[in-house]
Amino acid sequence: MALRQAIASARKDAGTPGWFNMNSPLTVEVLQRLCLVDPSSLVIH
């Protein structure tokens, strides 16, 4: 339940609120995709 709420919050921040399908297993890659994380934004400067 906590992960669903965290993902929903991340999606809302990204401008895409609403329902999403959450299948298991929840790997790091799946969580990043569900949270709409852009891998190019994960660069250390």
pLDDT (0 to 100) of residue 7: 96
Please say whether the beta carbons of 9 and 3 come within 8 A. Answer: no
pLDDT (0 to 100) of residue 40: 87
pLDDT (0 to 100) of residue 29: 92
pLDDT range class, residue 41, cuts 50, 70, 90? confident
Q: DSSP for 1-45, please give it.
A: -HHHHHHHHHHHHTT--S-----SS--HHHHHHHTT--GGG----
pTM higher than 0.95: no
Distance, in Å, from the CA atom of 30 to the CA atom of 33, rounded to the nearest integer, reads: 5
pLDDT (0 to 100) of residue 30: 95
* Tens digits of residue pLDDT in 6-22: 999 999 999 999 999 99
